Structures are given as structure tokens and as C-alpha cells.
């Protein structure tokens, strides 16, 4: 239980009043410790993913995109998935028959671009997988670490298509055909990008495209249009950047 109520409100871009309402309605995982609310970072992360894929019992993503104070919720343009994928690239035909083999092979390519050590990065990613598989559903996984390794003020999402779909421990039992390796600069941006990736992969049209293993250009074009239409309820779509 490493987060306080104030921390979670800041991470999710909502008011503390909203968090208290979700607690009262049993819509967010929490604990009571010495008469204070406490939250597990890993559980909040899993909750965000479940809600964005429509598995959570929460209205956080299904209705208005602002809380009582008018604060924007997740899915806004300020944490652009388009920019993160543009930076991280799209990698095809990464070899490996297992999750570990694919992660190791992917990091041998991606770590050079990030100016990080491939072995260290691989072990951090596998350590996170041992804690809990990062597979979502419908053949999508979002490998990421519990540490923030990027020194610059940008986020990176590297899209990896393995040579063949691999077993990944997904709840729906499907093999994974697309991996989004996520490297964010801080907790808030990490959660926002996780939410966007979960939301992206819950769309049937996006899933159909990913199964075709698109080029970087084609994928970015789709992401651009998709992000342009993410908006608070009742507001017009924003022009993509």
C-alpha cells in the first residue's frame, strides 16, 4: 500500500472527492490503514487497464471525461500515444517461441535506440512479468517495468510483432500477436498511456489492423485518427497533432 488518497487523485487527474466517492461505491481497490485510505500502485494499474477494456465496474471511462472540478480525465491529447509510438518504432518478425525469448530478442533491438543496456532492461521487464503477466486480451500485451528509466522528457512505446503468436498467460487464453513495450517518464504518464493502449486494443477495427502487422506509417496514421476522436463527452473532436 504505497499510495495515499492524494497521490491517486493526482495520478488519475481527478479530485479527492471523486476518489472518495469511488471508495464509497466500492469502485476502486483500496485498503484502510490506521483510519487512512491506502492504495497499491500495481492494483491501481490493473484497475485502470480493466476499466479501459470494459471489465471494471466503474464509470471512470464510460461517461463524461471531466470530474466535478472540470479536470480532464484519462485519454486526453497531452499524453500522446502517437508521439510515443513515433519515437519507439514498429518492429516486425521478432524471433522467439516463448515470452522470455521474444522480450530478449526485442530488447536487443530496442535498447540501442533508447541508449539503455539490453540485459538490464530485459531483466526488469521479466521481473514485472513474474509479478503479473502484462497481457490484456485479444492477443495484446503491454510489457513495462516498475522503474522509470528514461532521462529525457518523452515517453516511448515500441510496437513489436513476433514471428508467431506466443503464449503469454492472458486471462482469455489467447496467444499474443502484438506487444506494446511501454517506457514512460513518470507514474502519471505511465498510467495515461496504459489506459490509452487498453482502450485502443478494445476496438475491433484496431485489433483487425494489428493482426495484419501494419507498417509504422500505416499504424501511425490509424493512431492519429483514433486519438483525434478521443474527447470529453459533449465536445467536438480535436484536430490531431
In a domain, 233, yes or no: no
Secondary structure class of 221 (helix, strand, coil): helix
Q: What is the CATH number of the domain that holds 86?
A: 3.40.930.10
**CA 54 – CA 204 distance, rounded (Å):** 13
Q: What is the CATH number of the domain that holds 54?
A: 1.10.1660
pLDDT per position as a tens digit, 1-25: 588 899 888 888 788 999 999 999 9
**Buried-exposed string 170-185: b where 16+ CB fall within 10 A, e elsewhere:** beeebebbbbbbbbbb
The CA–CA distances, whole Å, from 99 to 61, 120, 236 equal: 30, 17, 41
Q: Are 176 and 170 in contact (CB under 8 A)?
A: yes
Q: Which domain holds residue 101?
A: 81-228
pLDDT per position as a tens digit, 111-147: 998 889 999 999 999 999 998 899 988 999 999 987 7
In a domain, 238, yes or no: no
Q: Last residue of a domain, which of 46, 74, 102?
A: 74
In a domain, 94, yes or no: yes
Same domain, 222 and 192: yes
Same domain, 178 and 150: yes
In a domain, 52, yes or no: yes
Same domain, 86 and 69: no
In a domain, 17, yes or no: yes
**CA 227 – CA 73 distance, rounded (Å):** 14
In a domain, 222, yes or no: yes
| Strand 156-162 with 178-183, pairing | antiparallel
Q: What is the pTM of this model?
A: 0.78
Using 50, 70 and 90 to split pLDDT, how confident is the model at 69? Answer: very low
> What residues have CB less than 8 Å from 155, skipping those under 6 apart?
79, 83, 84, 87, 182, 183, 184, 185, 189, 193
In a domain, 10, yes or no: yes
**CA 214 – CA 49 distance, rounded (Å):** 24
Same domain, 115 and 208: yes
In a domain, 5, yes or no: yes
> Where would I find the beta strands (DSSP E) of 135-177?
140-141, 156-162
C-alpha radius of gyration, the chain, whole number? 18
Amino acid at each position: 500500500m504505497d499510495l495515499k488518497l492524494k497521490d491517486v487523485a493526482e495520478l488519475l487527474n481527478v479530485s479527492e472527492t471523486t476518489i472518495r466517492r469511488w471508495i464509497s461505491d466500492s469502485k476502486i481497490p483500496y485498503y484502510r490503514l490506521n483510519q487512512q485510505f491506502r492504495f497499491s500502485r500495481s492494483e491501481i494499474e490493473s484497475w485502470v487497464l480493466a476499466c479501459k477494456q470494459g471489465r471494471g465496474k466503474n464509470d471512470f471511462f464510460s461517461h463524461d471525461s471531466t470530474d466535478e472540478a472540470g479536470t480532464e480525465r484519462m485519454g486526453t491529447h497531452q499524453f500522446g500515444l502517437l508521439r510515443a509510438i513515433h519515437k519507439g518504432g514498429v518492429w516486425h518478425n521478432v524471433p522467439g517461441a516463448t515470452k522470455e525469448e521474444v522480450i530478449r530478442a526485442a530488447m536487443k533491438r530496442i535498447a540501442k535506440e533508447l541508449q539503455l543496456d539490453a540485459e538490464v532492461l530485459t531483466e526488469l521487464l521479466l521481473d514485472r512479468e513474474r509479478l503479473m503477466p502484462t497481457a490484456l486480451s485479444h492477443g495484446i500485451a503491454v510489457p513495462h517495468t516498475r522503474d522509470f528509466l528514461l532521462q529525457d522528457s518523452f515517453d516511448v512505446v515500441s510496437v513489436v510483432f513476433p514471428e508467431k503468436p506466443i503464449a503469454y498467460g492472458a486471462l482469455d487464453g489467447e496467444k499474443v500477436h502484438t506487444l506494446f513495450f511501454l517506457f514512460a517518464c513518470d507514474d502519471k504518464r505511465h498510467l495515461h498511456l496504459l489506459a490509452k493502449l487498453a482502450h485502443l486494443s478494445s476496438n475491433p477495427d484496431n485489433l483487425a489492423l494489428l493482426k495484419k502487422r501494419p507498417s509504422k506509417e500505416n499504424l501511425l496514421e490509424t493512431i492519429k485518427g483514433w486519438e483525434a476522436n478521443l474527447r470529453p463527452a459533449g465536445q467536438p473532436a480535436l484536430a490531431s497533432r
